[in-house]
Amino acid sequence: MPALGALIVSLVLTVCPVKRDAGKRMLFCVAIFGTATVVFGLSHTMWVSLLALVIVGASDMVSVVIRASILQLATPPWLRGRVSAVNGIFVGASNELGGYESGQTAQWWGAVRAVVVGGIGALIVTGLASTLVPALRQIDELTSESLMQAKLQQSAAEPPD
């Protein structure tokens, strides 16, 4: 079901790409991901569980597309290949470590608690990222210029060393 949600959203994004408020949309979708994960973990009804998993996949696809775009557009052209390679290694490794961690926490706490705590963790991390990295919220368009503007606003807001 997550793959179905991701497929539907990826098709929608080809026709209706993210044009404005990319940072806020990304954070919002990660919050939806965490909330849908909690709903899935607590659900006792098949259709609610399936719908929650579709929403998990759909919201994850939006955040993945925005994060991948930010990574490419915020990286200088001469470093894009290297940065993409390092990112690929970290994403692959984090998926494997995440699978291990999920299995381990499910063994310790039970599957339901592990899923619910994971969803709550996603919500906490989203809130922290939104608060501690305000430049993420300020990203408007997915263009190099917009990302540079958000970076300049972040630099102006930081106290001097």
Residue type, position 96, single letter: E
pLDDT digits (tens, 9 = 90+) for 25-71: 999 999 999 999 999 999 999 999 999 999 999 999 999 999 888 88
Domain presence at residue 15? no
Domain contains 144: yes
DSSP state of 20: S
Report how many domains make up the chain. 1
Is the residue at 12 inside a domain? no
Q: Which domain holds residue 93?
A: 2-6+20-155
- 30 domain-assigned: yes
DSSP 159: P
Closest CA to 22 of 10, 34, 30: 30
Q: What is the pTM of this model?
A: 0.84
pLDDT tens for each residue of the chain, 161 residues long: 999 999 999 999 999 999 889 889 999 999 999 999 999 999 999 999 999 999 999 999 999 999 888 888 888 888 888 988 998 898 888 888 888 888 999 999 999 999 999 999 999 999 999 999 888 888 888 887 777 777 766 666 666 65
Joined together, the tokens standing for residue 150 give: 């958000």
